[in-house]
Chains A and B, each alone.
Chain A
Amino acid sequence: MSEQNNATIVSEPLKAETRKFNFYYGDNHALKNVDLPVAERMVTALIGPSGCGKSTLLRSFNRMHDLYPGNRYEGEIRLYPDDVNLVSPAVDPIEIRMRISMVFQKPNPFPKTIFENVAYGLMVRGEKRRSVLEEKVEEALRGAALWEEVKDRLDDLAFNLSGGQQQRLCIARALAADPEIILFDEPTSALDPIATASIEELIAEIKEKVTILIVTHNMQQAARISDYTAFMYLGELVEFGRTDELFVRPRKKQTEDYITGRFG
């Protein structure tokens, strides 16, 4: 069936793009011919019911699936401006993960100090100079709107922070490595409404500098914070569009049923 090319919907330059992207967990064909454009310095939201493949797609962007045996990518995820296929076996997943950070569903700080948590991405690259680390950690914590709350206790254990603070710490940890893209995997699903609002606010600020791809269960959240939305169902990308259009005038019946709450 001939479709409108999703990439032409995007008016900004592309930061990444999946082309005829397929993913298999062993014999399970989890993603089917997905064509998703990711606009530079915009927020692209992936929505859809549980098991639709949105997290699977997100985790393909930083090759997390490489950690487990039996997973297979097919097709391309092109990263611009380099124009490399980041799921190609020739590309080192470690380099991809240094350039594309991730924030997880549940806050998962390391059982280390606040400072060590934020600095870890830099330490992995061999950065040892204390002055550089301190400067970058402060910058990242400011970027995650956490600096004022923790500047006097950087050597405290990260577990002593509240859930919302821990998630902002994880965002700071992702920011410290100067990523080109940050992947958010339902970052507010474990948080209360107030912490959720602060994370959403933060995402709106971060997109000034970084391209954002976010998976969310919450359609209101997608509508509030994203510029583009992709609706996925059963491993397929059903509809992609500007968020303001997709939620108001969905082109597909399935999309409409989902966003109006008829299933999900």
Chain B
Amino acid sequence: MASKESMELRGVIARNQRWDLIVGTVGLLATALGVIILTLLFLDLVLDGWRRLTPEFFLNFPSRRPEEAGILSAWVGSALVMIVTAFTAVPLGVAAAIYLEEYAPKNWVTELIEINVTNLAAVPSIIYGLLALGLFVYILGFGHSILTAGLTLGLMILPIIIVATREALRAIPVAIREAAYALGATRWQVVSDHLIPYASGGIYTGVIIGLSRAIGETAPVITIGALTFIAFLPPIPFSGDPPAGPFDWLFSPFTVLPIQMFNWLSRPQSAFHVNAAATGIVIIVATLAMNGIAIWLRSRIRAKLKW
């Protein structure tokens, strides 16, 4: 039988364990709250908009008549802007991260740059829009174009890519670097033969997280003057008469999905609100798909790395 001492101990343990139960329950509720709200929001969008998700919705230009209106110009615009964004932000971000992590001397200048990069990630996106309006639209004369939008969003996600790449580089053990250096590799050989391949999972993740943030951005794209109603596509290279140049599409006016959605939401007719909900579904699915690809790529590359 339990002695008096052990009965006392059990009382103490039970009291201590009560806190485990409380913290566990509160934590579960907090976690569930986020998931539930997200699910409800998405369900609400789906209930409102699923009827409009027909093939025509993707193939039609916007229109005065809500039933005929579609998101062709918006999703093509979003896709092209994302291409420019990726081509700008990935090389710049990866190069900056490699420099900071592998080449830069560890002194106060580097530290200042690092703090700045982290701070840039916290700058509100509309500030990037204002910067781009001055720099790309007026000073460099790129106009209210796909190029301007892509560069703007590229700058905006640059810190995300830099931070993700640096973390991926830091996760590579010193022993692997030393093994390569000990065989007479130069810094660049270590970077290109080892560090970039081993960090690629983390780099892809950063790129895709960055792009999935960029694809939903509205404020900076409005600031630089994206159109809200557009019934034509950017010129396809070498098509038309006279034939378009290979890069003419970069200077074309455009719109993107969130702007199209915003435009429809601000109309009084409720039929347009259905279109907006349908566009919202498209944006969320695109974002979730990108995140899914990021997770898949990371796990596939991680499977090959054991340390």
Q: A-side interface residues toward B, CB under 8 Å?
A: 62, 64, 67, 69, 94-95, 97-98, 101-102, 104, 106, 108-111, 120-121, 123-125, 157, 159, 170, 173-174, 177
Question: Smallest distance from the beta carbon of A185 to chain B beta carbons, Å?
Answer: 10
- The answer to whether B304 touches A157, judged by C-beta atoms less than 8 angstroms apart, is yes
Closest to A117 in B: B179
Question: Smallest distance from the beta carbon of B103 to chain A beta carbons, Å?
Answer: 12
Between A and B, 30 residue pairs with Cβ closer than 8 Å are A62-B182, A64-B178, A64-B182, A67-B177, A67-B178, A67-B181, A69-B105, A94-B184, A94-B185, A102-B178, A102-B182, A104-B179, A106-B175, A108-B173, A108-B175, A108-B178, A111-B176, A111-B198, A111-B304, A111-B306, A120-B180, A120-B185, A121-B183, A123-B193, A124-B183, A124-B189, A157-B304, A159-B304, A173-B183, A177-B184
Question: Smallest distance from the beta carbon of A194 to chain B beta carbons, Å?
Answer: 22
| Other-chain contact of B176, A97, A110, A157, A173 (Cβ < 8 Å) | A110
| Other-chain contact of A108, B179, B189, B304 (Cβ < 8 Å) | B179
Question: Smallest distance from the beta carbon of B301 to chain A beta carbons, Å?
Answer: 10
Which one of B179, B183, B304 has the greatest number of beta carbons of chain A within 10 Å? B183
- The answer to whether B183 touches A101, judged by C-beta atoms less than 8 angstroms apart, is yes
Q: Return chain A residues, CB-CB under 8 Å to B193.
A: 120, 123
A226 to B185, CA, bound (A): 30
A120 to B193, CA, bound (A): 9
Q: Return chain A residues, CB-CB under 8 Å to B176.
A: 108, 110-111
Q: B-side interface residues toward A, CB under 8 Å?
A: 105-106, 173, 175-186, 189, 193-194, 198, 304-307
A248 to B125, CA, bound (A): 75
A90 to B305, CA, bound (A): 38
- The answer to whether A97 touches B178, judged by C-beta atoms less than 8 angstroms apart, is no
Known: A69-B105, A69-B106. A124 touches B185 (CB 8 A): yes
Question: Smallest distance from the beta carbon of A117 to chain B beta carbons, Å?
Answer: 9
A95 to B184, CA, bound (A): 7
| Other-chain contact of A177, B105, B179, B183 (Cβ < 8 Å) | B183
Closest to B301 in A: A111
Question: Smallest distance from the beta carbon of A198 to chain B beta carbons, Å?
Answer: 21
A177 to B183, CA, bound (A): 8
Q: Return chain A residues, CB-CB under 8 Å to B185.
A: 94, 120, 124
A157 to B304, CA, bound (A): 8
Closest to A104 in B: B175
| Other-chain contact of B186, A94, A108, A159 (Cβ < 8 Å) | A94
Q: Return chain B residues, CB-CB under 8 Å to A123.
A: 193
Closest to B182 in A: A102
Q: Return chain B residues, CB-CB under 8 Å to A120.
A: 180, 183, 185, 193
A98 to B184, CA, bound (A): 5
A173 to B182, CA, bound (A): 11
A95 to B177, CA, bound (A): 17
- The answer to whether B305 touches A111, judged by C-beta atoms less than 8 angstroms apart, is yes
A236 to B173, CA, bound (A): 30
A94 to B177, CA, bound (A): 14
Closest to B189 in A: A124
Q: Return chain B residues, CB-CB under 8 Å to A62.
A: 182
- The answer to whether A64 touches B181, judged by C-beta atoms less than 8 angstroms apart, is yes
A202 to B186, CA, bound (A): 29
Q: Return chain B residues, CB-CB under 8 Å to A111.
A: 176, 198, 304-307
